[in-house]
Amino acid sequence: MSRIRPIWKKVKLMISINNVSKKYGEKVGNFNINIQIKKGEIYGIIGPNGAGKTTLIRQILGFVKPDDGNITINSMDSWEKRQEIMEWTGYIAGEVSIYEDYTGMQFLKLMSNLKANVDWSFVEKLIEYFELDTSRKIKKMSKGMKQKIAIISATMNKPAFLVLDEPTSGLDPIMQQRFNELILKLKKENSSTVIICSHIFEEVVALADNVGMIKSGELIEEFVIKEKNIEIIREKFKSVFIKESIL
């Protein structure tokens, strides 16, 4: 496709989440979230399953309208301008759902036609990098192979903004490391802004510059990730989210 890449490279891309709430019931959803993310930053969101992480992700992407507050991306309201924002956004959902009757190659070709500024030679490099057999039907692929399809689909146009919800689910340790290297490369060479959301502490701190902890729908604490404070943050994570064994 020949759409022109928007002016995101000329501005200081920033995600601004201001007093955002989405209530599905008593203590279900998220409540009064405030987060600021700079261009080229990798921001990690960690918390247990059911903490409200995916609800926040869906609000950021404009899939769900907040009950209160607002979210802006490049000064554009994420709900009102969601279609425009998605043109330069990559997204890996927590539950990967792709067309089962397509081969891997057919699906990637379809996705490349729906996105702007896809360099197919880069897609071929990603296919080789993740050792993906694209000739197979997706319905016959393992969970890990489907996850690779999702990763390549999300990153094929080197997006300005990348949202990752449990992105390495199903990947073996080698492929997890390759995924991390890809994300850091996009950050370094493309100034991509990334949000990574997971219930696994190590998955987030391997990539993030800053991290926010969410529990019961509330942002309870934020940290700048530094080599010297990783153990402190890990202990904080354990104390907040991991119950002591009763066995």
Q: DSSP 3-state assignment of 24? A: strand
CATH number of this structure's domain 13-241 = 3.40.50.300
- Give the DSSP letter of residue 39: T
Q: How many CB atoms lie within 10 A of CB 235?
A: 10
Q: Is the dihedral of CA 11, 185, 199, 244 positive or negative?
A: negative
Q: How many CB atoms lie within 10 A of CB 178?
A: 19
Task: Spell out the per-residue pLDDT of the chain, length 247, in tens.
Answer: 334 444 445 556 589 999 999 988 777 788 999 999 999 999 999 988 888 888 999 999 999 999 999 999 988 999 999 998 988 899 998 887 788 899 999 999 999 998 878 999 999 999 999 999 999 999 999 999 999 999 999 999 999 999 999 999 899 999 999 999 999 999 999 999 999 998 888 889 889 999 999 988 999 999 998 876 888 888 888 887 776 444 4
In contact, 185 and 122? CB cutoff 8 Å: no
Please tell me the pTM assigned to this model.
0.89
Tokens 């989210």 correspond to 241
Bridge partner list, 35:
17
Spatial CB neighbours of 143, under 8 Å, sequence gap ≥ 6: 169, 170
